Structure 1
Amino acid sequence: MSQILSIVRSYISNSIVLRRRTSLFLEMDDVDDLDGIIEAHSRYLGQLEEDLFLNEESTVKYLLRYYTTFRLKMVDPIEARKRFNEQQKTLANKDFYDTKFFEQEEERIRLEELQQHLEEYYQPKVKTLNSKFVLLIRDILDILTAPPRKLHYVELALRLDFTGFYQHCEI
């Protein structure tokens, strides 16, 4: 569409406007006052109008008539194409969001399964480590609080606080 308008514009500027512009410049060279320049310009515009639209042999008039007819015939296909493109975009967006939601749901399910598998796998190991830790701490406390030890070891053993550890491990 823009190519057609470009061709019409090129034809108008090369065949009519440039030819008339040279005559305008020649007339303006002969005139010495502002009124003469205004009259020359008015004649130039009148000649342009005549060459473009009033002349029976004007190609521009026929080109514009054909272009107008062509545009009128193209309105329905253009509108149909616009509606089709809009519907296609709507469907693409809908499919994209549906696909995205489906993929997110699959990822969530996969993560839940992985978490469950990890819990099943590591739960016995955590229990074993916890029981060993409890036994080791009990042994340390027994050693520190045994009678031949000095009193500061007993106080040190009584100051040990494992509450934070158990809260951190969620035990």
Structure 2
Amino acid sequence: MCSCRISSSHSSAAGCATGSRSKSRRICACSASIRNGRPSTSWTGLPNRYMTLERLNDVEASGLSWALLVIDVDRFKQLNDTYGHRAGDAVLRRIGTTLRDHCPEAGFVGRYGGEEFVMVTEDAHDAEQLAERLVRAVRETTYTFEGQTIPMTISVGVSVANAEPGTVVFERADAALYQVKADGRDQVKIG
């Protein structure tokens, strides 16, 4: 089981301290447990906020190189207002599946809250390309609810961790996400 320390509401970043495994395998070990259906929200199939924050703290403490992607579903309130909350829940489940399917082995994805997700990857050099692939995958996925097709996009803020606290990495990624929203959504920005 993952050990943890949870700090502020905008916490740090991901992995698992598991026995004598090498640092580079820690995130994979936790990712496997999440992929196999352990701690998750009941309806998205992804780790809930608490488990996500645990994992974020673990990665920060691991000493590994990592990058954080903060992912927000574009115009989600409009979706709920137009199609209803059941449609919104269905879309979040489907986007969660799309994100999980595109998550690298040496990383994890979790639900942060509302329509926001976070993804952590050990391959910090590929973080921007990963984010671009996620944006494209969500845009190209067909979302339907009760026979209606619902066009969906996401916006992604990315931050690469250097030696600073995970809260700083999160704040940079979150600020980049807000800039993406201001610039028109459905894109990626590095913070």
Q: Which has the higher contact order (CA 8 A, sep 6+)?
A: 2
Q: Which protein is richer in strand relative to its size?
A: 2
Q: Normalized against structure 2, the TM-score is what?
A: 0.24
Q: Which one has a bigger Cα radius of gyration?
A: 1
The structure where helix makes up a greater share of residues is 1
Name the TM-score, length of structure 1 as normaliser. Answer: 0.26
